[in-house]
Chain A
Amino acid sequence: GAGVSQSPSNKVTEKGKDVELRCDPISGHTALYWYRQSLGQGLEFLIYFQGNSAPDKSGLPSDRFSAERTGGSVSTLTIQRTQQEDSAVYLCASSLVPLAGGPVEQFFGPGTRLTVL
């Protein structure tokens, strides 16, 4: 079946512009994650959605970052007034919700490479 898809694959923007990044999770996966991957920095957690629960936004680096998930499926990450330090690869992952206390196996999309000039 189809995996996690993200669009666009590459985005070049000018400093100060807003950008929207899209994630289509695997059908039936109720959990969705956004991560930022900067060179040499590994994966930085940004936000987590689970079903209809309030999202865990604890990883968002500033109020310029926001995300929403419509209909429990597609998610959009929005970065307002982009800065050069926002340049990174933005990865989306989805998963089934595990049984209580069980492990989460995440399935990742290919990412969106954002370049802010």
Chain B
Amino acid sequence: AQSVTQLDSQVPVFEEAPVELRCNYSSSVSVYLFWYVQYPNQGLQLLLKYLSGSTLVKGINGFEAEFNKSQTSFHLRKPSVHISDTAEYFCAVSEVRSYIPTFGRGTSLIVHP
């Protein structure tokens, strides 16, 4: 069975600073990996996804993530955050041939001026 761990429930950071949101997963088979963002009172929106190929994936809003198979990690990064990046971020894993992704508990990114 697949599982996802988001190590930080909350990450405070100052505007224009870099940020990394951590995600580790567990699975016995090949997986697809996703990061979603949820702004207040909205549904989840896909930021980026890893399917195969290059381990560095670029997404919307300047975010990127790196798939590390040996570490079973898929950490999300942004070199310089904006106030508007304040939101909840969810990592999700989906085993190949499974149509039901498993989501982490979420990390609240709080960007201070």
Contact = CB atoms under 8 A, between A and B. Distances in A.
Contact of A42 (B32, B46, B94, B105): B105
A65 interface: no
Interface string A30-58: 01010100001111010010100000100
| Chain A interface bracket (under 10, 10 to 19, 20 to 34, 35 or more) | 20 to 34
Interface centre among B41, B101, B103 (most CB of A within 10 A): B101
B9 interface: yes
| Chain B interface bracket (under 10, 10 to 19, 20 to 34, 35 or more) | 20 to 34
B43 A50 contact: no
B105 A48 contact: no
Contacts of B36: 108
A101 B32 CA distance: 10
Interface centre among A33, A42, A45 (most CB of B within 10 A): A42
Interface in B54-113: 90, 94, 96-97, 99-106
Interface string A82-111: 000000000101000110110111101111
A4 interface: yes
Interface string B47-59: 0010100000000
20 contacts: A4-B43, A31-B99, A40-B105, A40-B106, A42-B6, A42-B104, A43-B44, A43-B103, A45-B102, A48-B100, A91-B44, A100-B97, A103-B32, A103-B34, A103-B49, A104-B32, A104-B101, A105-B46, A108-B45, A110-B43
Interface of B: 6, 9, 32, 34, 36, 41-46, 49, 51, 90, 94, 96-97, 99-106
